[in-house]
Amino acid sequence: MKAIFKNNISFLLPYLIFIVLGALLLAVDTKTEMHLGFNSYHNSFFDSFFYYITYLGDGVMAVLTVIILSAIKYRYAVIVGLSNLISAIITQTLKQTLFSDSVRPKKFFEGIHDLYFVPGVNNHLYYSFPSGHSTCAFALFFSLALLVKNKTLELLFFITAILVGYSRIYLSQHFFEDVYAGSLIGIFTTIIVYYFIQKREIKWLEQSLITSFKNI
C-alpha cells in the first residue's frame, strides 16, 4: 500500500494539499457563503470551458476509457472499470438514502438569492451530496494516473480531476462539500481496487481484446 503513495506522488501530493485546504475552508466558512463566493466569479470563456469539461466526469467517459483500455490490457480495464463502478454505487447509495434530502444550489437558494446560471445548463434540484461527477472524475483520472507511471501525466490527470470537480460548483450543480466528498470516495475506492487487482496473478488479465481476437 505504501508503494501506491510513493509511486504516485505527483497526483497524491497536490490532492493531499487540496484535502487539507478544503477541510480548512469547510471549517471556517458556511456552504452558503462559500457558494455565493464561487458564484460571483464568471465570464463567457469559463461558461463554455466548464460547460464542456464537466462531461469528463460523466459515466460515459469512464465506459469509453474502459473499452479503449480493454484493447491494451484487461487488467487496466478492470482496475478503471471497478474503481468507477464501485465508487458510483457508493455515491448513489448515499444520495438515495442518508442524504436524500440534500438539495442542490438552485433549490437551496430559491427565494433567497439570485444565482448566476450558465446558459444552456439544466440545473438539477435534488440529490446534491455527494457529487457523482466528482466521484467519477477522481476515480477515473486517479486510476489512469496509477497506470501510466509518468509524473507529468499524473499531474495532468490531477488537474483534470480538479477542474471537473470545480465545474460542478461553477455550474451551480453542487456545493463544495459535495465535490470534496465525491473526490474522497473516488480516490479511496480506486486505491483499494488497484491494490487488490494488482496482487492477483490471473492469466486472462494480462490479455487484451486484440490478443483475444488473434487467438480465435
DSSP code string of 125-174: -B--SS-HHHHHHHHHHHHHHHHH--HHHHHHHHHHHHHHHHHHHHTTSS
To the question of pTM greater than 0.85 for the whole model, the response is yes
Residue 170 phi, psi dihedral angles, 5° rounding: -60, -40
pLDDT at 77: 95
Q: What is the CATH number of the domain that holds 150?
A: 1.20.144
Tell whether 19 is covered by a domain: yes
pLDDT along the chain (216 residues), means of 10: 82 97 95 95 96 95 95 94 97 96 95 93 95 98 94 97 98 98 98 90 79 63
* Within-domain flag for 209: no
Q: Kindly state whether residue 211 falls inside one of the protein's structural domains.
A: no
pLDDT at 212: 64
pLDDT score, position 12? 95
Question: Is residue 142 one of the residues assigned to a domain?
Answer: yes
| Integer Cα distance of 215 and 197 in angstroms | 24
**pLDDT score of 16:** 96
In a domain, 25, yes or no: yes
DSSP one-letter code for 206:
G
C-alpha cell at 52: 464542456
Do the domain assignments include residue 207? no
CA separation, residue 84 to residues 51, 65, 104, 193, 207 (Å): 22, 11, 23, 10, 21
Instruction: Answer yes or no: are the C-beta atoms of 127 and 19 closer than 8 Å.
Output: no
- Asked if the structure places residue 214 within a domain, the reply is no
Residue 212 counted as domain residue = no
Q: How many domains does the chain have?
A: 1
Domain extent at residue 196: 2-202
